[in-house]
Amino acid sequence: MNTVVGVIGGGQLARMMVPPAINLGLEIRVFAESESSPAEMAATAIGDYTNVDSVFAFAQGCDVVTFDHEHVPQAVLTELVRRGIRVRPSPESLIFAQDKLLMRERLAALGIPVPGWAKASTAAEVDSFLLEYGGRAVAKVARGGYDGKGVRIITSSADITQWLTALAPGESLLLEELVSFRRELAQLVARRPSGELALWPVVETVQQDGVCSEVIAPAPHSAGRIADVAAQIAADIAEGLNVTGVMAVELFETTDDRILVNELAMRPHNSGHWSIDGSTTSQFEQHLRAVLDLPLGATGMTEPFSVMVNILGGPQAGGLPSRYAQAMKLHPTAKFHSYGKEGRPGRKVGHVTASGDDLADVAYQARGASAFFQH
C-alpha cells in the first residue's frame, strides 16, 4: 500500500513537491487545472477545483490532500472534510491565508505585531483612514490577490473607486498603514498535526514591482534579536492558527526597528525555494512530511549562505534548457530550476540558487547565472 499525497493545483509548487516525493517513495497525485501544467508529470486528474465532486473523486484515493495554492473555496474544503477526506492545512486554518481581513483580525487578537489597519467599505472610511495615517496608505482586496495584484498604494478614496463599488454587501477592503521599512524578511515554518514545529533561518526578500525577485538566506545582520523575533512570530502564528504544513510569514523590518507581519502564505513559498539546494530539508520535503504527520527534518543550512534569484519572463522558445550551455559554463555551482512554463513577460518560469561560504560570491553566482534567462 503506497502512501499517497494529493495536491490540488498543478503549478510550480506542486511540481517542486514531486522530487522529494520520489526520493521518499511517496506517491504524489496532482489535481491540475489543465492538460499542460508545471506539475503535469504527476497529474492524475484535470478539473475545476471549485467543483466539489471533481475534487472529491480525486481525493478519495489519497491519504491526505494539500495545496499548490490557496484558492480552493471554503465550501469545497469543508464539504471534503465532511465526506471524510483529510485536508491539510484544514479549512479553519486556511481561511486566514485566503482572507486578509480575517487574518488581520486574528493576528491582532493573538497579539502579533502588524501594521496599523482598518476595514473599509465606503469612500468616507477610506478617507478617514488616510487622514489618520498622514495621507497615504495601502489598500488591499481581502481575497484573491497575489504577487502584487489586488494591492495598491493610495492617497485618496478616488484611487480605488472601482474596488469600492465592486464590493458585495458585507464585504470590505483592508486598509493598512504604509510602513516605512528598511527591508522585507520572510520566516518559513513547518508544523505537523501533533504540534512539532521546524523553522528555517529568517531570510531577506527583495521585491521588484510587487514580485519577489531575490532571497538571501540567512538575512544579513539578522543573528540575535531579528532572528529570534521572526521565529517567535512565526511560531505563535503557526500555533495560534493551528497550521499544518509549511507556512511563510512575510515581514517588514521597519525604520523604527520593529518586525511587523505583512502577509501569510499557508503552503511552500517563493521565499523558501533556496531550501531545495541550501537546507538539509527543503520546504517541499518538509511540507510532505508535515501533512503526513511524519517527524520534521532538520532545517539547518548545508552551507553558510544561499541566494535565490527568480527568473521572470524567460526565453520565449525552448525554455530554460535552451540557454543552459552558456549559463552552466560560467556558473558551475549554480542550481537551475525550470518550471516547464512558456516564457511570458513578468511570469515566474524558474529560479537559480547558489550556495557557499562567501555571500558576495554566492550572490554573484546566482545573479549572474539567472541573467542568462531574464529576457
Alpha carbons 185 and 202: distance in angstroms, whole number: 7
Q: Considering only CA atoms, give the Rg of the chain.
A: 20
Q: Is position 250 annotated in a ligand binding site?
A: no
Question: Residues 291-328, buried b or exposed e (16+ Cβ, 10 A)?
Answer: bbebebbebebeeebbbbbbbbbbbeeebbeeeeeebe
Q: Is position 92 annotated in a ligand binding site?
A: no
* Of 37 and 338, CB closest to its own copies: 338
Query: Containing H/E element for 350?
Result: strand 348-356
Longest C-alpha distance within the chain, in Å? 62
DSSP codes, 104-172: HHHHHHHT-----EEEE-SHHHHHHHHHHTTT-EEEEESBS--TTTTEEEESSGGGGHHHHHHPPTT--
Q: Is position 262 annotated in a ligand binding site?
A: yes
Residues 6+ apart with CB under 8 A from 241: 93, 96, 106
Q: Is position 178 annotated in a ligand binding site?
A: yes
Shortest reach from residue 374's CB to its own copies, in Å:
16
Q: Is position 125 annotated in a ligand binding site?
A: no
* Of 1 and 109, CB closest to its own copies: 1
Alpha carbons 280 and 22: distance in angstroms, whole number: 17
* Of 47 and 340, CB closest to its own copies: 340
Shortest reach from residue 280's CB to its own copies, in Å:
6
* Of 81 and 294, CB closest to its own copies: 294
Single-letter residue type at 161: T
CB 81 within 8 A of CB 87: yes
* Of 120 and 288, CB closest to its own copies: 288
Q: Is position 100 annotated in a ligand binding site?
A: yes
Closest CA to 311 of 303, 321, 302: 321
Q: Is position 179 annotated in a ligand binding site?
A: yes
For residue 335, the SS3 value is strand
* Of 168 and 317, CB closest to its own copies: 317
Q: Is position 335 annotated in a ligand binding site?
A: no
Q: Is position 189 annotated in a ligand binding site?
A: no
Shortest reach from residue 296's CB to its own copies, in Å:
7
Shortest reach from residue 244's CB to its own copies, in Å:
16
Single-letter residue type at 114: V
* Of 232 and 322, CB closest to its own copies: 322
DSSP codes, 59-75: HTT-SEEEESSS-S-HH
* Of 321 and 346, CB closest to its own copies: 321
**Binding-site ranges for its own copies (CB under 8 A):** 1-3, 15, 18-20, 22-26, 41-42, 276, 280-281, 289, 294-298, 300, 302-303, 317-322, 324-325, 328-329, 332-333, 335-340, 350, 355
**Where does residue 272 rank: exposed (0-12), middle (13-18), buried (19+ CB within 10 A)?**
buried
Shortest reach from residue 169's CB to its own copies, in Å:
46
Shortest reach from residue 275's CB to its own copies, in Å:
13
Shortest reach from residue 308's CB to its own copies, in Å:
13
Shortest reach from residue 290's CB to its own copies, in Å:
11
Alpha carbons 45 and 54: distance in angstroms, whole number: 9
Q: Which residues are annotated as a binding site for ATP?
A: 100, 140, 176-179, 184, 262-263
Q: Which residues are annotated as a binding site?
A: 100, 140, 176-179, 184, 262-263
